[in-house]
Copies of this chain bind each other. A is one copy, B any other.
Amino acid sequence: MSIPADFRLLCRREKFTSHTSGILPNYMQANLLILPGEVANDFERLCFRNPVPCPLLAKTKGSFDKLDNDFLINHSGQGFDIRTDIPKYHIFRGGRLIEKSNNCKVYWRDDYVGFLIGCSYSFEGALINAGLQPKNSILGKNVSMYKTKRYMDASGIFAKCPYVVSMRPYKEKDLGAVRSITSEYKLTHGEPIDWGFDGAIRLGISDLNTPEYGDAIDIEDDEIPIFWGCGVTPHLAVETVGHLIRGYVITHAPGCMLLLDATYKEFSATC
């Protein structure tokens, strides 16, 4: 397959239902969150106030096949359907997962708003290109992710919602290069928010060996943990305040992202 639109078509036909890590690595991928209209403004402002854990790329505009930023997903002219074009969906009600499905057509309502949120696959590619392949990628594991005691700045119903961070261990001498490379990806979490074992304490992470999400990755004696804002944060936020949301919340299944038509370089040049 040559272009992201073809891949989305595969998903729409339910021919591809797995994770998207490594798929069309030059193109951006996005986390998806679909919310009832009555909480959409609160969520959009949450992203505005907390752009590192919740980097909002675009949102749907009155329909499941229109975005407020055409550039991201309209190069091909083949369009998209946010209800069908990712491999796997999770459906929540009252903050609890109630169904997994390859599309969310039966749950979509016309007042729902879909949010596309940046994902760290872009900067992982850049780290690999610079000879700084993340250990999770070397080991073929998922990245370690932790729920922290750092809270997002509140927005409407989204209060008392903690950051989730991803962690990649590196040698301390590589910290400068790792920070510098990922800082260029400011629309997809950007540089680390903190690092080191003292950083873990500041974030309120009590045990690095037991991540809340993803796989445990050993930190060797000559390595330090480095922490980035993580796209699981908005998912945890809708779980945290799920009891305040009437109707369904729809997300991508972890790792099963939406493929976009733009490269990071193309997209960031428009911002």
A52 at the B interface (CB under 8 A): yes
Total residues of chain A contacting the partner, CB 8 A: 25
* Residues from chain B with Cβ under 8 Å of A194 in the complex: 151, 154, 159-160
Residues facing B in A174-196 (CB within 8 A) are 179, 183, 186, 190-194
A150 at the B interface (CB under 8 A): yes
A229 at the B interface (CB under 8 A): yes
A211-237, CB under 8 A of B: which get 1 and which 0? 000000000000000000100000000
A71 at the B interface (CB under 8 A): no
* Residues from chain B with Cβ under 8 Å of A154 in the complex: 179, 191-194
How far, in whole Å, are A4 and B67 apart by their CA atoms in the complex? 41
How far, in whole Å, are A154 and B189 apart by their CA atoms in the complex? 11
A107 at the B interface (CB under 8 A): no
The answer on a CB contact under 8 Å between A153 and B183 is no
Task: Select the stretch in A6-14, A43-51, A86-94, A252-260 that faces chain B.
Answer: A43-51
Instruction: Name the residue of chain B whose CB is nearest to the CB of A155.
Output: B191
* Residues from chain B with Cβ under 8 Å of A159 in the complex: 194
Instruction: Sample 15 A-B pairs with CB under 8 A, ordered by A number.
Output: A45-B186, A49-B52, A52-B153, A149-B202, A151-B193, A151-B202, A153-B229, A154-B191, A154-B192, A155-B191, A156-B179, A156-B183, A156-B191, A159-B194, A160-B194
Interface residues of A (CB under 8 A from B): 45, 48-52, 149-151, 153-156, 159-160, 179, 183, 186, 190-194, 202, 229
